[in-house]
Amino acid sequence: KEEKKAAQYILGKIYYEGGYGVNRDLKKAIQLLTPLAEEEEEDKEEKKAAQYILGKIYYEVGFGKNDFGKAIEWLKKAAEKGY
Protein backbone atom coordinates (compact mmCIF):
# COMPACT_ATOMS: atom_id res chain seq x y z
CA LYS A 1 0.00 0.00 0.00
CA GLU A 2 2.81 2.42 0.83
CA GLU A 3 4.48 1.73 -2.51
CA LYS A 4 1.21 2.51 -4.28
CA LYS A 5 0.97 5.85 -2.46
CA ALA A 6 4.55 6.68 -3.36
CA ALA A 7 3.91 5.83 -7.02
CA GLN A 8 0.69 7.86 -6.96
CA TYR A 9 2.58 10.86 -5.57
CA ILE A 10 5.35 10.56 -8.16
CA LEU A 11 2.85 10.33 -11.01
CA GLY A 12 0.88 13.29 -9.64
CA LYS A 13 4.08 15.32 -9.43
CA ILE A 14 4.98 14.38 -13.00
CA TYR A 15 1.56 15.52 -14.20
CA TYR A 16 2.05 18.77 -12.25
CA GLU A 17 5.50 19.48 -13.67
CA GLY A 18 5.32 17.73 -17.03
CA GLY A 19 8.24 15.66 -18.17
CA TYR A 20 9.33 12.09 -18.82
CA GLY A 21 7.27 12.20 -22.01
CA VAL A 22 4.13 13.24 -20.11
CA ASN A 23 2.38 16.52 -20.86
CA ARG A 24 1.50 18.76 -17.95
CA ASP A 25 -2.07 17.97 -16.86
CA LEU A 26 -3.16 19.78 -13.72
CA LYS A 27 -6.55 18.09 -13.50
CA LYS A 28 -4.90 14.66 -13.46
CA ALA A 29 -2.39 15.93 -10.90
CA ILE A 30 -5.24 17.08 -8.68
CA GLN A 31 -7.03 13.73 -9.08
CA LEU A 32 -3.93 11.85 -8.00
CA LEU A 33 -2.69 14.16 -5.26
CA THR A 34 -5.95 15.04 -3.48
CA PRO A 35 -6.50 11.55 -1.97
CA LEU A 36 -2.92 11.58 -0.67
CA ALA A 37 -3.29 15.08 0.77
CA GLU A 38 -6.44 14.00 2.60
CA GLU A 39 -4.88 10.87 4.14
CA GLU A 40 -5.49 10.42 7.84
CA GLU A 41 -1.87 9.51 8.59
CA GLU A 42 -0.31 12.78 9.69
CA ASP A 43 3.43 12.42 9.20
CA LYS A 44 3.67 10.86 5.78
CA GLU A 45 6.02 12.74 3.47
CA GLU A 46 3.79 12.11 0.44
CA LYS A 47 0.88 13.74 2.26
CA LYS A 48 2.79 16.91 3.08
CA ALA A 49 4.26 17.15 -0.41
CA ALA A 50 0.86 16.52 -2.03
CA GLN A 51 -0.68 19.29 0.08
CA TYR A 52 2.08 21.67 -0.97
CA ILE A 53 1.77 20.87 -4.67
CA LEU A 54 -2.02 21.21 -4.54
CA GLY A 55 -1.59 24.61 -2.93
CA LYS A 56 0.78 25.64 -5.70
CA ILE A 57 -1.60 24.41 -8.41
CA TYR A 58 -4.56 26.33 -7.03
CA TYR A 59 -2.45 29.44 -6.44
CA GLU A 60 -0.65 29.49 -9.78
CA VAL A 61 -3.42 28.44 -12.12
CA GLY A 62 -6.78 28.37 -10.42
CA PHE A 63 -9.90 26.88 -11.91
CA GLY A 64 -12.57 29.09 -10.36
CA LYS A 65 -13.40 31.82 -7.89
CA ASN A 66 -12.72 29.73 -4.77
CA ASP A 67 -9.30 28.52 -5.82
CA PHE A 68 -7.26 31.13 -3.96
CA GLY A 69 -8.94 29.96 -0.76
CA LYS A 70 -8.11 26.34 -1.64
CA ALA A 71 -4.51 27.38 -2.28
CA ILE A 72 -4.22 28.97 1.15
CA GLU A 73 -5.88 25.97 2.80
CA TRP A 74 -3.52 23.40 1.25
CA LEU A 75 -0.38 25.51 1.73
CA LYS A 76 -1.29 26.15 5.36
CA LYS A 77 -1.80 22.42 6.02
CA ALA A 78 1.59 21.63 4.50
CA ALA A 79 3.29 24.39 6.48
CA GLU A 80 1.69 23.25 9.75
CA LYS A 81 3.28 19.86 9.19
CA GLY A 82 6.69 21.39 8.60
CA TYR A 83 6.82 21.13 4.84
pLDDT tens, position by position, 36-57: 999 887 678 889 999 999 999 9
Q: Which DSSP symbol is given to 81? A: T
Asked if residue 30 lies in contact with residue 54, where contact means CB atoms within 8 angstroms, the answer is yes
Asked if residue 46 lies in contact with residue 5, where contact means CB atoms within 8 angstroms, the answer is yes
pLDDT tens, position by position, 18-27: 999 999 999 9
Task: Please state, as a whole number, how many other Cβ atoms lie within 10 Å of the Cβ of residue 58.
Answer: 23
